[in-house]
């Protein structure tokens, strides 16, 4: 009990409402409403059972150490049986009510649809998220990683796939989880009711860096979203100064191009995240580091220290090459 | 009884002396490796299971140290993944199920009034197989070949492409070993309960603990084959390139999940139902009255046993099921609250109407009710498909499962050990130390696991080796780690109490708690043959109705003879001769062990195993002449 009180106090002091209970979309909202029902039913049941237990033990008749009387008092026994039956009936009623509430919410979650909605395909990789904005015209498709921009107030269809192991997409303020399973196509609908950046994380254990497989959903106005999408459709800007040009050479002639794409350059590999507009993202290494030149340098030189086991190797570069590469990557807005 | 008996009961002293000779424990190597006494085997089982419990507990403390603050570098992801996999696998496969079955193997023959389990040699074989499996897992872990794909070993992460090396093969073979042992234990419990009950102990007089073990044993028989098939398929995918789970060749990743959870969910009830048996026993004894609603209790156990098989898919709500399927499994999962509720209400009613004697075992039960009800309620939450989408695979579920497994099973188990320790050891445990243990256990538990509910809702997934400072999960994790240290202290106190009992405890009488079941009618500790005379049972509470019950006479005492009775009414049917100590079960287990461990590396291991197990099996089942007229005999 004291532990519960203590953690309740901590909760009120520091944390505020947890992510899953601060909904930013209709689905998380429905689930948070259902949570409230289950939570208060649980509080009542737990308190009632513990109170009755303590009452029963503390107020019970004093023990007799002789043999218990087995000839039951029929009246008292009948009262006990009736009490147990009533409690059982009440349990059944509460369970059925909770079941009904649960089924209603399941139906409500399935009701979010929109014709010709924005479709985002997400592929789970160890340990990052590949994101592709679908378009009937292949050249208009946009590929990015670990950050998903969506327009506020619009239903978005998220199609999910995985090729290595099972992952699970979870952005608590928007919706519950959906697994990404090799060999099974899954999907979910999400909708953000208010602008904001909502953190998410892989929820299915997927190997060494399961802990650092995070993502960000950025909900913004339709105008801002369209502008962002238009920016993403453009190829990477040409480097304008000598250092950035040297950085591009480092990128294209070094190991980087073996795994990464920068649209507008010959680098077109898809083993790692698309870096065409890397400088426009807020985080690095699937939400592990803030996107600053210092962190980027640390990540390039020794990713194994930051995410042990990650598939990106350590890249040995001398100081000048590293500075040039940082200048080039920093220009990829 | 047949008339031509060569040796008849003359008087108690002579009978006792004859029984001592017939059931004398073997000495030397045979005593160490060949004993078939169910109590010796069961205590070895219990001690081994607690050693594994302590080892896995140490791993839990390492995990809590690593998670106590963000970005800790105590252990890296490779070791952490091995640690949580070995922690979960040990607790589920090497501690929880074996210790529950072991309690049954110790108590059921005593409670039903017979001399040994139905197949004493098979019983010994089961223990050795279990020990080899457990040693294999821990030896591999200490050699840095510990499995690292979780106790659930989801494919493709556990498949040959994503998990090269031998770590997962070790896990798969350990499953085969321990589940084989679990099946052996289940068969022992079913046959002992149904065929070796004392005359008069009709099914409506069977103690609730024995009922609980019977239901558990049937669940084991139906659940364990699913995981054995699955782990064998996984081992074959990895060893001989089959494609059961290989998506690229038409295999299916979800097939594994169905097979695993078809075992995995019943497993929870396999661990919980024996605990309800402990609770019913302790409540009845310390409330000083028969349990309220015995028929309702039995029917609840059976209902739980059936329902437990209909809700495995609630572990898979996030995989994208049709909503009708989701609703079905939500309904099935929530329904189980009803039989569980019935049991809780019956215990409460029994306590309310009894004359409650507050002793340490009862305090464990009180801690159990307060904790388990909370775990059950969070279980109703995760049973709801939409709620589960938020809660699944987060620390909320870590909280939930420890509330039901520690609160629901380990609390009653520790209470039960305190309760039966006088019978097992002949000495009384310390009441004061027992009470202190319960208090620290309860506070430590709540401190450790209650904050995890909040962490899960705040977005912390399970199975992460660390987390970023900006998540804000640090303070609650720190609190949880402090609680875990307290839990460790409570476990040490429990062990200290057992050690103190064995060395200094006051001599226990036959029935120190004034309980009603047959195990308390014999001496503490019981002799190798359990009872001088097989008792005759005339009520549901034999020791409360007849402190010195009528007994069966006419059983042979110069051979290991037991009385076989009818499954429903326990009417005497015939006499049956059990076999004595032998090395063959041990040798067979060793041979099978060599075979299965070799099969981690090469398919020829199967051949090696077959060739090596053949000689001890031939020795084991070599005919030993005709059974004596009027009796049966089996070489098991």
pLDDT in tens, A82-117: 999 999 999 999 999 999 999 999 999 999 988 989
pLDDT of A12: 46
Is B277 within 8 Å of B419 (Cβ atoms)? no
Let me know whether A286 and A307 are in one domain.
yes
B296/A168 Cβ within 8 A: no
User: Alpha-carbon distance B529 to B562, whole Å?
Assistant: 10
Of B154, B253, B458, the CB nearest to A15: B458
Of A69, A83, A309, the CB nearest to B77: A309
Let me know whether A138 and A208 are in one domain.
yes
A14/B472 Cβ within 8 A: yes
**pTM score over 0.90:** yes
B338/A88 Cβ within 8 A: yes
- Name the pLDDT band for B610 (thresholds 50, 70, 90): very high
Is B194 within 8 Å of B260 (Cβ atoms)? no
B247/A34 Cβ within 8 A: no
Q: Tell me: the pLDDT tens digits for A192-216?
A: 999 999 999 999 999 999 999 999 9
Residue A1 has pLDDT above 80, yes or no: no
A52 in B contact zone (CB under 8 Å): yes
Residue B631 has pLDDT above 80, yes or no: no
User: Alpha-carbon distance B333 to B335, whole Å?
Assistant: 6
Let me know whether A83 and A165 are in one domain.
no
Out of A233, A260, A285, pick the residue that ends a domain: A233
∠ CA B195-B577-B130, nearest 5°, is 70
* Residues in chain B within 8 Å Cβ distance of A207: 81, 157, 162
pLDDT of B6: 37
* Residues in chain A within 8 Å Cβ distance of B162: 164-165, 207
CA distance A145 to chain B (A): 20
* Residues in chain B within 8 Å Cβ distance of A1: 446
B355/A62 Cβ within 8 A: yes
Residue A206 token pair = 């997927």
Of A127-131, A291-295, B560-564, B620-624, which gets the smallest average pLDDT? B620-624
User: Alpha-carbon distance A277 to A147, whole Å?
Assistant: 11
Let me know whether A103 and A122 are in one domain.
no
For residues B557-574, average pLDDT: 94
B446/A2 Cβ within 8 A: yes
For residues B251-258, average pLDDT: 95
Is B350 within 8 Å of B284 (Cβ atoms)? yes
Q: What is the share, in percent, of chain B residues with pLDDT greater than 90?
A: 89
pLDDT of B216: 98
Scanning A199-238 for CB atoms below 8 A from B yields: 199-212, 214
Let me know whether A93 and A192 are in one domain.
no
A202/B296 Cβ within 8 A: no
For residues B488-514, average pLDDT: 96
Residue B126 token pair = 């089961």
For residues B320-343, average pLDDT: 91
- Name the pLDDT band for B8 (thresholds 50, 70, 90): very low
User: Phi and psi at residue B209, in whole multiples of 5°?
Assistant: -65, -40
Q: Tell me: the pLDDT tens digits for B106-163?
A: 999 999 999 999 999 999 999 999 999 999 999 999 999 999 999 999 999 999 999 9
pLDDT of A61: 73
Let me know whether A276 and A322 are in one domain.
yes
pLDDT of B2: 37
**Neighbouring residues of A128: CB distance < 8 A, sequence distance ≥ 6:** A145, A146, A213, A272, A273, A285, A286
CB pairs < 8 Å spanning A and B: 294
pLDDT of B628: 63
Q: Tell me: the pLDDT tens digits for B436-487?
A: 999 999 999 999 999 999 999 999 999 999 999 999 999 999 999 999 999 9
How deeply is B432 buried, as exposed, middle or buried, from its count of CB atoms within 10 A (0-12, 13-18, 19+)? exposed
| Dihedral (CA of B424, B425, B431, B435) sign | negative
CA dihedral A163, A164, A166, A172 (to 10 degrees): -80
**Neighbouring residues of B440: CB distance < 8 A, sequence distance ≥ 6:** B486, B489, B490, B493
pLDDT of A163: 86
B162/A181 Cβ within 8 A: no
Q: Tell me: the pLDDT tens digits for A212-271?
A: 999 999 999 999 999 999 999 999 999 999 999 999 999 999 899 999 999 999 999 999
- Name the pLDDT band for B10 (thresholds 50, 70, 90): very low
B381/A199 Cβ within 8 A: no
Let me know whether A125 and A213 are in one domain.
yes
* Residues in chain B within 8 Å Cβ distance of A38: 377, 380-381, 384, 387
CATH code, A132: 2.60.40.420
- Mean pLDDT score of chain A, rounded to an integer? 92
Mutation choice for A interface testing from B147, B315, B386 by most A CBs within 10 A? B386
Report the complex ipTM: 0.94
Q: Tell me: cis bond preceding B22? Omega within 30 of 0 counts.
A: no
* Residues in chain B within 8 Å Cβ distance of A183: 247, 252-253
Q: Tell me: the pLDDT tens digits for A18-40?
A: 999 999 999 999 999 999 999 99
Domain count for chain A, please give it: 3
Let me know whether A262 and A318 are in one domain.
yes
Out of A193, A214, A233, pick the residue that ends a domain: A233
User: Alpha-carbon distance A43 to A94, whole Å?
Assistant: 13
User: Alpha-carbon distance B56 to B72, whole Å?
Assistant: 21
Let me know whether A173 and A257 are in one domain.
no
pLDDT of B26: 87
User: Alpha-carbon distance B430 to B360, whole Å?
Assistant: 9
pLDDT of B277: 98
For residues B520-532, average pLDDT: 95
pLDDT of A168: 98
Let me know whether A124 and A219 are in one domain.
yes
pLDDT of A13: 44
Out of A66, A91, A109, pick the residue that ends a domain: A109
Domain around A103: 3-109
* Residues in chain B within 8 Å Cβ distance of A203: 318, 392-394, 461-462
Residue B608 token pair = 């090696």
∠ CA B156-B160-B166, nearest 5°, is 120
Let me know whether A182 and A289 are in one domain.
no
Scanning A99-118 for CB atoms below 8 A from B yields: 99, 102-103, 105-107, 109-110
pLDDT of A117: 93
Mutation choice for A interface testing from B332, B346, B389 by most A CBs within 10 A? B389
- Mean pLDDT score of chain B, rounded to an integer? 94
CA distance A125 to chain B (A): 12
Let me know whether A65 and A85 are in one domain.
yes
């Amino acid at each position: 009990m004291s532990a519960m009180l203590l953690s309740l106090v901590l909760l009120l002091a520091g944390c505020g409402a947890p992510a899953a209970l601060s909904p930013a979309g209709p689905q998380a909202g429905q689930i948070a409403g259902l949570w409230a029902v289950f939570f208060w039913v649980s509080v009542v049941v737990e308190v009632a059972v513990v109170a009755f237990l303590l009452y029963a033990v503390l107020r019970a008749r004093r023990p007799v150490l002789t043999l218990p009387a087995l000839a039951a008092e029929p009246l008292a026994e009948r009262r006990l049986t009736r009490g147990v039956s009533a409690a059982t009936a009440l349990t059944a009623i509460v369970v059925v009510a909770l079941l009904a509430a649960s089924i209603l919410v399941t139906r409500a979650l399935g009701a979010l649809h929109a014709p010709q909605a924005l479709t985002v395909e997400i592929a789970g990789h160890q340990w990052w998220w590949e994101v592709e904005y679908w378009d009937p015209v292949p050249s208009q498709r946009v590929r990015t990683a670990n950050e998903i921009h969506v327009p506020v107030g619009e239903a978005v269809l998220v199609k999910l796939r995985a090729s290595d192991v099972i992952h699970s997409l979870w952005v608590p303020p928007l919706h519950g989880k959906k697994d990404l399973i090799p060999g099974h196509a899954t999907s979910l609908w999400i909708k953000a009711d208010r602008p904001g950046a909502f953190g998410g994380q892989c929820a299915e254990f997927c190997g060494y860096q399961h802990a650092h497989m995070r993502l960000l959903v950025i909900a913004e106005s339709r105008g801002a979203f369209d502008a962002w999408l238009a920016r993403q459709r453009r190829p990477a800007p040409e480097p304008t100064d000598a250092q950035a040009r040297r950085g591009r050479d480092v990128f294209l002639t070094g190991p980087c191009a073996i795994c990464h794409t920068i649209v507008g350059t010959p680098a077109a590999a898809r083993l790692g995240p698309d870096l065409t507009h890397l400088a426009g993202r807020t985080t690095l290494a699937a939400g592990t580091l803030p996107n600053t030149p210092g962190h980027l340098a640390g990540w390039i030189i020794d990713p194994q220290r930051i995410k042990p086991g990650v598939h990106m190797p350590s890249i040995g570069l001398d100081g000048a090459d590293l500075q040039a590469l940082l200048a080039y990557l920093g220009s990829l807005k | 009884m047949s008339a031509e008996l060569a040796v008849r009961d003359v008087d108690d002293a002579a009978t006792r002396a004859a029984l001592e000779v017939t059931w004398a424990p073997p000495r030397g190597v045979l005593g160490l490796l060949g004993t078939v006494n169910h109590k010796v085997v069961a205590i070895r089982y219990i001690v081994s299971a607690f050693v594994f419990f302590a080892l896995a507990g140490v791993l839990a403390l390492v995990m809590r140290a690593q998670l106590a603050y963000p970005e800790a570098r105590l252990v890296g992801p490779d070791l952490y993944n091995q640690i949580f996999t070995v922690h979960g696998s040990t607790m589920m496969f090497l501690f929880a199920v074996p210790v529950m079955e072991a309690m049954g193997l110790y108590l059921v023959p005593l409670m039903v009034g017979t001399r040994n389990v139905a197949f004493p040699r098979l019983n010994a074989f089961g223990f050795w197989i279990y020990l080899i499996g457990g040693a294999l897992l821990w030896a591999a872990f200490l050699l840095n070949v510990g499995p690292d794909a979780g106790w659930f070993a989801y494919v493709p992460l556990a498949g040959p492409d994503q998990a090269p090396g031998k770590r997962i093969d070790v896990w798969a073979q350990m499953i085969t070993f321990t589940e084989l042992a679990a099946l052996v234990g289940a068969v022992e419990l079913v046959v002992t309960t149904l065929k070796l009950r004392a005359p008069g102990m009709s099914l409506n007089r069977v103690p609730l603990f024995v009922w609980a073990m019977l239901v558990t044993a049937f669940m084991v028989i139906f659940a364990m084959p699913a995981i054995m098939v699955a782990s064998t398929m996984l081992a074959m995918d990895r060893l001989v390139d089959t494609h059961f789970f290989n998506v690229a060749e038409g295999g299916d990743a979800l097939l594994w999940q169905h097979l695993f959870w078809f075992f995995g969910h019943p497993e929870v009830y396999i661990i919980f139902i024996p605990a309800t048996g402990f609770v019913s026993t302790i409540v009845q004894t310390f409330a000083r009255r028969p349990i309220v609603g015995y028929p309702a209790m039995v029917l609840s156990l059976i209902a739980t046993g059936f329902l437990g098989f209909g809700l495995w898919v609630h572990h898979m709500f996030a995989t994208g099921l049709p909503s009708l399927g989701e609703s079905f499994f939500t309904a099935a999962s929530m329904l189980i609250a009803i039989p569980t509720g019935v049991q809780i209400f019956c215990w409460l009613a029994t306590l309310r109407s009894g004359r409650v004697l507050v002793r340490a075992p009862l305090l464990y039960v009180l801690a159990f009710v307060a904790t388990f009800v909370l775990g059950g309620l969070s279980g109703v939450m995760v049973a709801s498909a939409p709620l589960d989408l938020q809660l699944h695979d987060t620390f909320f579920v870590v909280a939930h499962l420890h509330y039901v497994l520690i609160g629901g099973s380990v609390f009653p188990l520790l209470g039960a050990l305190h309760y039966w320790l006088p019978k097992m050891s002949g000495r009384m445990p310390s009441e004061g130390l027992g009470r202190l243990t319960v208090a620290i256990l309860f506070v430590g538990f709540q401190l450790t696991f209650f904050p995890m509910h909040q962490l899960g809702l705040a977005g912390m997934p399970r199975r992460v080796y660390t987390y970023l400072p900006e998540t804000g999960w640090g303070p609650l994790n720190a609190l949880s780690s402090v609680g875990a240290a307290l839990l460790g202290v409570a476990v040490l106190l429990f062990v200290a109490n057992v050690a103190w009992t064995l060395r200094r405890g006051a001599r226990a009488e036959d029935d120190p708690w004034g309980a009603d079941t047959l195990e308390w009618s014999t001496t503490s500790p019981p002799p190798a043959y359990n009872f001088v005379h097989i008792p005759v049972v005339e009520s549901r509470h034999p020791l409360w109705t007849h402190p010195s019950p009528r007994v069966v006479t006419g059983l042979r005492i110069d051979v290991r003879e037991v009385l076989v009775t009818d499954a429903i009414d326990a009417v005497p049917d015939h006499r049956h001769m059990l076999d004595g100590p032998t090395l063959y079960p041990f040798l067979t287990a060793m041979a099978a062990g060599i075979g299965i461990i070799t099969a981690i590396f090469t398919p020829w291991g199967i051949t090696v195993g077959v060739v090596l197990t053949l000689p001890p099996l031939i020795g084991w089942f070599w005919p030993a002449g005709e059974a004596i007229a009027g009796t049966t005999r089996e070489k098991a």
